[in-house]
Amino acid sequence: MKSRPSRPLSQQQAAREVSLGALGYLAGDPERIGPFLAESGLSPADLRGVAGSTAFHVALLDYLINRQDLLIAYAGEAGIDPGHVVAAREILFHADMGED
């Protein structure tokens, strides 16, 4: 079976990957996910239903960006520059607004 060459991720796909990583980071520890759920008004059961929403990903990244300790910790764990989280938020925000 031949493997197809992988295509590079679009900016929006890459931004979504950053956000999904952030969600995984928060969800990995009740001490991290609890305050996010409380602030957002979501329950753990709600996450599955909203995880496909671009607006949810923007809100998740906003939360992370507004808590610099979490932003730095997530970026370090993910091996990315914290600025990539900010850039991902902007890309997703504009995608949600129907802009490119």
Q: Quickly count: other Cβ atoms within 10 Å of residue 100's Cβ.
A: 8
**Distance separating alpha carbons of residues 38 and 54, to the nearest angstrom:** 20
Q: Identify the pLDDT of residue 100.
A: 43
Domain contains 92:
yes
Domain assignment present for 1: no
Residue 5 maps to a domain: no
Structural domains of the chain, count: 1
In a domain, 18, yes or no: yes
Note down pLDDT in tens along the chain; length 100 residues.
455 556 566 999 999 999 999 999 999 999 999 999 999 999 989 988 898 899 999 999 999 999 999 999 999 999 999 999 999 999 999 987 765 4
User: Residue 36: which domain range?
Assistant: 11-96
Q: Per the domain annotation, does 4 fall within a domain?
A: no
28 within some domain: yes
* Domain assignment present for 90: yes
On whether the pTM is more than 0.95, the answer is no
Q: What is the pLDDT of residue 79?
A: 96
**Quick check: is 58 in a domain?**
yes
